[in-house]
Structure 1
């Protein structure tokens, strides 16, 4: 038997093992989440003398949503003498003048709001946040990205959570203004809902590390300062600061009951930019913090394990693309060497991970979309899995670049004021006109899996048929959305 056969089986086995262990960690979070629901009634309301709060709004060329953002921040129901708002505006287009006029209107109404302008975009978002922080003495800082519309009671619901002096950051749940805009936004909402219910609550319940999600959260200034301030040496400055702070001993709190509405990327290339930033940045943070997580003595074993998989979350896309590409050689191996069937049967046990993940996402689905029927989940979950697989090549590339240490610029996700099923991004500023080279490779992979499907049906090998059907749908969807959006 050729050595390459054992190499293929070994690599595929390692990839499936990681996915299986990842699913077991998700199962642990699900168990913690259910515990949190049972303990919710025991939580008592906290009292806290309202302190001064700085609200930071980092923006860069947000023509279609900057007025909406300014209005939402200005309408926050909080004592005026204790509220300071900074529009951290690095814009280079007409949105800067639009924001200037809007801010002036609110200033005339007595709102303490200022447009902060830097000489350059050094450090991108992280640099803007630190620059603004140095201009204020507020002990608490709330942050909202341009696509968010915080509820007027946001601060009144979150600030009392800092009654415990050990709490360094409070993160709230993202809600979705355009959940039903398209299949793309439905799938994103489905995935994010799981993160902002089961994952974040489960980690918090288990006293494990959670992360600030970059927006819709509040920081204690002392926590930021103690952790070393904002840094731009990774693309995910939020995850980086979260780990530096928690490794210093600060505690974080996730408030599932407090939501902040935001706009989901509706254009595939905008989504890809966001996913690239998240996945490459996560890999960069893993390089930066994984060793310290493993070696820090005051962490429990369970917290180390959860932090390990938390930091390596993005690598799941690397293992997915490995499993996908090797699935066709495995069909050949299985047909040529029936004596290896016992190994394949053992590998099938690892497919239990998909059952675990189905339960994981179903719990979040029922929690967040109570009016939706089970039949919706039966098509939405496979669609989510398929499109996640279709994004795996793009995201795996981002992970590899993150581990390589290659620096790339921060590319923000454009917003177009899309609410519900209304609005369009076609022919608007910031929409992409280019078709990235990787899109053509995604199209080729779609053809590769079509060929694999035809071959295995022809020889009567049905084991990988469901996987290849999902891969075909996923890569075809990503390819077509990318091509369509690139042609706008």
Structure 2
């Protein structure tokens, strides 16, 4: 019977989500056990400080590049042991802005490197810069970051241990309260940087360099095969290659690197597409090597959950679509009600995921009453919007798993920290509406209709789930069309 096929799809997808939640529960347990690995601040007068190269990959960043240069120029480190590479692939006025801005800092050793050909995109720029870098340590910051002036002094001490290959800092958020969507992104990222990174690092499972806000040992990069552009997440790719070679990574949650969050849905989708597809590409590239390698079982299990975490969007989409015929089966009596009661077991997975976000976010807010009540509305809205993004992200994951190639599309930067500022005039806004936006609108109508049908027929078993899907797809589709269609 066809209804059994849909029930099977629904059950298998829910099992995958449950497996993911169990992995998250383990990370949460180790998050509580995480030992603070910070070391004393290095001294500017220390004669033994290593030479450091800071790399700043830039591509058409006219709104934020001056802010970046100013922040990097304030870096506290002996001038004779520091060089700063501006790796500029820009094709607009950003290049002239950089050249003009650098004139204000003649005392800082800025090296301006402009590429006419963006071969390899960000990975290519980093690789070319690495060939010219004098530093034995390489710090990397994206254009929208404002690093802590003491970042280097807080991190270089770890490299006295010869097996340490990379130190990653925690991202902060410059515009967290700009809009609902910047708040929800901060909500998600805080869980990654608190529970996931701390939970993995505390048990020596593989963690990832997050593409920025970290510092590498140059020899580690070269030993791992240098930067490669065969995935959209060159940072995750290099991280897994390095750790498979035996290099250890250190995570520093107490060192914060503030950055800008995309304030508009088109930019959010651009970033999400790159992250989710790149994660799937890395899974195809590395998972077999990790599973067959001589690593502890806990490392292998967390590598599976880590590399396949973006696949959860395919599971969410399958659960969402199959829930419609499953609901119909319950309504028509084709599926025994006892099945639905058994399915309640899967709610345990959502309880675990809720706990991860609860402790990650409230820990950063010192468990205040205000943060608790904020969490009560943020969690359901975040889950709803994540469901609403499942079509877009599932496409990205599927392309990554099947090997379909696509160019590196960088996330537009806006330099918006004040709610009164507007994103509409940004010349980097994407105006081409992707096909998935129309499908999101259709699903918004479908799940709103499902909520109405449930109310009319008195079948409330799935009304909460369908209600969240209705809210998620409605929010995502409306804000998508708004961000693609509104022009200055």
SS at the partner of 2:103? helix
Cα distance in 1 between the residues matched to 2:134 and 2:54: 12
Residue number in structure 2 paired with 1:361: 357
Answer whether contact 1:390 1:474 (CA < 8 A) is retained. yes
TM-score, structure 2 normalization: 0.96
TM-score, structure 1 normalization: 0.96
Matches within 5 A, 1:238-253: 238-253=235-250
Answer whether contact 1:177 1:420 (CA < 8 A) is retained. no
Answer whether contact 1:12 1:322 (CA < 8 A) is retained. yes
SS at the partner of 1:276? helix
Deviation, 1:256, is 0.3
Matches within 5 A, 1:327-338: 327-337=323-333
Aligned: 1:321 with 2:325: no
Residue number in structure 1 paired with 2:63: 64
Cα distance in 1 between the residues matched to 2:419 and 2:208: 31
Residue number in structure 2 paired with 1:52: 51
Matches within 5 A, 1:414-429: 414-429=412-427
SS at the partner of 2:53? strand
Aligned: 1:165 with 2:151: no
Deviation, 1:422, is 4.4
Aligned: 1:214 with 2:211: yes
Cα distance in 2 between the residues matched to 1:71 and 1:14: 52
Per-residue CA distance 1:135-180 (angstroms, 9 max, x = gap) = 1231100000000000111111111122211110011000000000
Residue number in structure 2 paired with 1:133: 130
Cα distance in 2 between the residues matched to 1:410 and 1:353: 34
Cα gap change, 1:307/1:46 in structure 2, threshold over 3 Å: closer, same or farther? farther
Per-residue CA distance 1:346-395 (angstroms, 9 max, x = gap) = 22101111111111100011112335331111100111101100101000
Per-residue CA distance 1:74-132 (angstroms, 9 max, x = gap) = 110000000000010000001110001111221x2x11001101230000000000000
Per-residue CA distance 1:236-276 (angstroms, 9 max, x = gap) = 00000000000111110110000001000001001100000
Aligned: 1:456 with 2:454: yes
Cα gap change, 1:44/1:99 in structure 2, threshold over 3 Å: closer, same or farther? closer
Cα distance in 1 between the residues matched to 2:95 and 2:123: 19
Per-residue CA distance 1:21-67 (angstroms, 9 max, x = gap) = 1001001000000011xx43x86648783100000000000001001
**How many pairs were matched up?**
480
Residue number in structure 1 paired with 2:341: 345
Deviation, 1:332, is 1.1
Aligned: 1:263 with 2:252: no
Cα distance in 1 between the residues matched to 2:103 and 2:302: 47
Deviation, 1:437, is 2.0
Unaligned 5+ residue runs, structure 2?
none
Cα distance in 2 between the residues matched to 1:182 and 1:417: 14
Q: 1:413 aligns with which of 411, 418, 422?
A: 411
Residue number in structure 1 paired with 2:95: 96
Residue number in structure 2 paired with 1:75: 74
Answer whether contact 1:141 1:220 (CA < 8 A) is retained. yes
Cα distance in 1 between the residues matched to 2:258 and 2:196: 19
Aligned: 1:466 with 2:469: no
Aligned: 1:105 with 2:104: yes
Answer whether contact 1:166 1:251 (CA < 8 A) is retained. yes
Cα distance in 1 between the residues matched to 2:240 and 2:419: 37
Q: 1:196 aligns with which of 193, 211, 222?
A: 193
Deviation, 1:477, is 0.6
Answer whether contact 1:148 1:262 (CA < 8 A) is retained. yes
Cα distance in 1 between the residues matched to 2:313 and 2:320: 10
Q: 2:179 aligns with which of 169, 178, 182?
A: 182
Cα distance in 1 between the residues matched to 2:331 and 2:457: 9
Aligned: 1:300 with 2:289: no
SS at the partner of 1:86? strand
Cα distance in 1 between the residues matched to 2:373 and 2:133: 51
Answer whether contact 1:46 1:163 (CA < 8 A) is retained. no
Answer whether contact 1:141 1:221 (CA < 8 A) is retained. yes
Cα distance in 1 between the residues matched to 2:261 and 2:287: 30
SS at the partner of 2:132? coil
Cα distance in 1 between the residues matched to 2:91 and 2:345: 54
Q: 2:22 aligns with which of 12, 21, 24?
A: 24
SS at the partner of 1:373? helix
Cα distance in 2 between the residues matched to 1:283 and 1:192: 19
Cα distance in 1 between the residues matched to 2:53 and 2:245: 23
Answer whether contact 1:57 1:144 (CA < 8 A) is retained. yes
Matches within 5 A, 1:143-154: 143-154=140-151
Cα distance in 2 between the residues matched to 1:69 and 1:35: 36
